[in-house]
Copies of this chain bind each other. A is one copy, B any other.
Amino acid sequence: MKRAITRLESESPGDAAAKTIAEATYRRLRDDLTGWRYAPGVKLPFKELAEAYRVGVSPLREALSRLASERLVLASGQRGFRVPPVSADEMWEIIKLRQLLEREALVDSIAHGDAAWESEIVAAFHRLTRQPAGASAPGDSLSDWDRRHRDFHGALLGACSSQWLLHFIGILYHQSERYRRLRFQRADKSALPRDVDREHREIMDATLARKPRLAGELLVRHLARTGEAAAAALTDPFPVPTPAKRPLNGSKTRVTRAKR
């Protein structure tokens, strides 16, 4: 009998159990948005998206509407949907909120976690570190490492008793992913001198040792480093095509390319 706990993402495998077209389109769009298939500021016209994803306007509209409620797209009046711009200020807003919420959730998770929760963390860490941090596969905008990374952070908080806390953390996680993956838009993938595996291991160790203070502090630092890395990518002029009046510069034609 499993615990009635929602993970960061309910679907465990690739795209299991998308009961409805709107749901499937929502997930595809979400992954493509966080994976920078569309540049910030560009318009997302119904016609092009509908034929790109091979769906009608109704499920597409529902998908966009849901994404707007999570601020992964911007909905303006009767003027359609746009990709939100990026800004360092907003990025730090998101990081600071994640620090506040995820620390709280981790402390709660440590207080409530049982043996099954512990082994889930260990398993997720194992899967994460045994896999190279390869770039995204060309067909899929969400790489295996991204998935494992998400699952590891989800496992840490898996025993948190507050569904609402996890709900908000999930939304912020996707936002954060969007900024984190800005780096991979760059040609050179020179990482900051950072040992992510080690950071994850330290968080895991403190969590399993049931030291909420320490674990929370390590998690907060981990998130801060993530923010710094994203901030570095933000200062680079290349990947941020600050939307001029008409942002249809090359990247818009990519919208029309059918996803096969």
Contact = CB atoms under 8 A, between A and B. Distances in A.
Interface of A: 19-20, 22, 58, 61-62, 65-66, 69-71, 77-78, 90, 93-94, 96-97, 100-101, 104, 161-165, 167-168, 172, 175
A96 B167 CA distance: 14
A197 B89 CA distance: 37
B162 A77 contact: no
A20 B78 contact: yes
Contacts of A70: 69
Contact of A163 (B58, B65, B90, B172): B90
A19 B94 contact: no
A90 B100 CA distance: 20
B97 A100 contact: no
A96 to B, nearest CB: 7
Contact of A164 (B19, B93, B164, B165): B93
28 contacts: A19-B77, A19-B78, A20-B77, A22-B65, A58-B58, A58-B61, A61-B62, A62-B62, A62-B65, A65-B65, A66-B69, A69-B69, A71-B167, A90-B164, A93-B161, A93-B162, A93-B163, A93-B164, A93-B165, A97-B162, A97-B164, A97-B165, A97-B168, A100-B100, A100-B101, A100-B104, A164-B175, A168-B168
Contacts of A58: 58, 61
A97 B87 CA distance: 27
Contacts of A62: 61-62, 65
Contact of A162 (B66, B96, B161, B165): B96
A22 B175 CA distance: 26
Contacts of A101: 100
A77 B17 CA distance: 10
Contacts of A19: 77-78
Nearest to A68: B66
Nearest to A67: B69
